[in-house]
Amino acid sequence: MPFTPYHFGPSGFVGLLFRRWLDVPVFIAANILIDIEVLVDQQFAPGWPVHQLWHFHTLLIGGLAGAIFGLVAYYIKPVRWLCEKSMSLIGLPSKATLLSMVLAGLLGAWLHVIIDSFYHYDIQIFWPYRDNTIFRWINSGKMSNMAATQRQVMFWCRIFWGLMLALYAVLLVFASKKTRKRS
């Protein structure tokens, strides 16, 4: 994926949908964390393949990095407070727990890796197994299908931006009704 903004639609939608069990800011931030590998590769080790510098774009290492990120975010109180405050600011208050933050980091990283495995052929999703099984399966093993698949992934990421905004609006309506009921 040509950097993280496309990931915000799917990750925002999934994060909001499962916000009772996942810390939404950590879930979204874990998606950004995974693309740090690409940015570092471009700056310090330019060359291809860009998704294999630290193997963040794998379920194993990416998931581990995301879970550790959630753990660290929980134990750094200002970060935990920032996560809770950001949810309050958007009208969906939540309480960050250790489990919700670690799970959000793990699943957020995995979502990023899965989306990228549809888009990029060099992702080694099941590393240390070196093949991108998902990309090969989706494209019927033909590189000539890659551009069409990439357009589809970008299309669905944009659709999820819209779905995320619609879900957010619905959640705000329910939150305001709940607040009015208590008053």
Indicate whether 181 belongs to any domain.
no
Q: Is 95 helix (H, G, I), strand (E, B) or coil?
A: coil
Within 13 Å, how many C-alpha atoms sit on residue 41's CB side?
A: 16
Instruction: Residue 164: give the domain boundaries.
Output: 5-174
pLDDT digits (tens, 9 = 90+) for 24-64: 999 999 988 888 888 887 777 776 676 666 678 899 999 99
CA 13, CA 122: separation in Å to the nearest integer? Answer: 26
Indicate whether 107 belongs to any domain.
yes
Indicate whether 117 belongs to any domain.
yes
CA 183, CA 178: separation in Å to the nearest integer? Answer: 9
Indicate whether 11 belongs to any domain.
yes
Indicate whether 79 belongs to any domain.
yes
Query: CB within 8 A of 142, min separation 6: which ones?
Result: none
Q: What is the pLDDT of residue 51?
A: 67
Work out how many domains the chain is built from and give that number: 1
